[in-house]
């Protein structure tokens, strides 16, 4: 079983990063996930990968509110440093990444989890539905709403609004 866990660590870490938006927080989330998995043991006849994603998501939900308060405080515009003209392209890329992370943070947790599993982990709708214990249609509608919300938040003039 240890070999199985070693193989899923990179996938679980990417998923955790997509949830937390921080490499350090993602590492903490993966560690907390494995602590919970090792403490409780795996249920019989369960696909370990799907189950690990589910445990990770549940641990994240448990910790999300306190993390969100800290994350919002550190991402306040008044705390951001001004970039020099030489760093403008890098600053623009960082600003876009910050904007996307903030948009992801604003999504409801169910939409954010589904978007992360589909877009970042490459899981099928069917696998996501099984992992989250919801119908495939629910996965599709939540994913659609999440994508539209992100698109409108990152580029509000692209849909519905005229300049």
Q: How far apart are CA 89 and CA 77, in angstroms?
A: 18
Size of the chain in residues: 163
Q: Which helix (DSSP H) or strand (DSSP E) does residue 159 occupy?
A: none
Closest CA to 36 of 53, 19, 22, 23: 53
pLDDT tier at 67, thresholds 50, 70, 90: low
Q: How far apart are CA 54 and CA 60, in angstroms?
A: 10
pLDDT in tens, 22-37: 888 889 989 998 898 8
Single pTM value for the model: 0.52
Are residues 99 and 153 in contact, defined by beta-carbon separation less than 8 angstroms? yes
Query: Which domains, and CATH codes, for the chain?
Result: 1-75 (1.10.1740), 88-163 (1.10.10.10)
Q: How far apart are CA 6 and CA 34, in angstroms?
A: 11
For the chain, what is the mean pLDDT?
Answer: 79
Q: Is the pLDDT of residue 66 over 80?
A: no
């Amino acid at each position: 079983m240890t070999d199985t866990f070693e193989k899923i660590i990179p996938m679980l870490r990417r998923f955790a990063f997509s949830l937390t938006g921080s490499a350090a927080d993602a590492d903490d989330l993966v560690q907390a996930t494995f602590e919970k998995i090792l403490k409780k043991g795996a249920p019989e006849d369960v696909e370990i990968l799907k189950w690990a994603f589910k445990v990770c998501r549940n641990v994240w939900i448990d910790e999300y509110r306190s993390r969100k308060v800290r994350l919002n405080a550190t991402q306040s515009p008044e705390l951001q440093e001004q970039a020099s003209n030489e760093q403008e392209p890098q600053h623009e890329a960082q600003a876009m990444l910050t904007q996307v992370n903030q948009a992801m943070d604003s999504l409801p947790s169910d939409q954010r989890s589904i978007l992360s599993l589909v877009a970042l982990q490459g899981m099928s709708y069917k696998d996501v539905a099984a992992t989250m214990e919801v119908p495939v249609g629910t996965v599709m509608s939540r994913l659609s709403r999440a994508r539209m919300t992100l698109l409108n938040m990152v580029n509000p003039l692209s849909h519905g609004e005229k300049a």
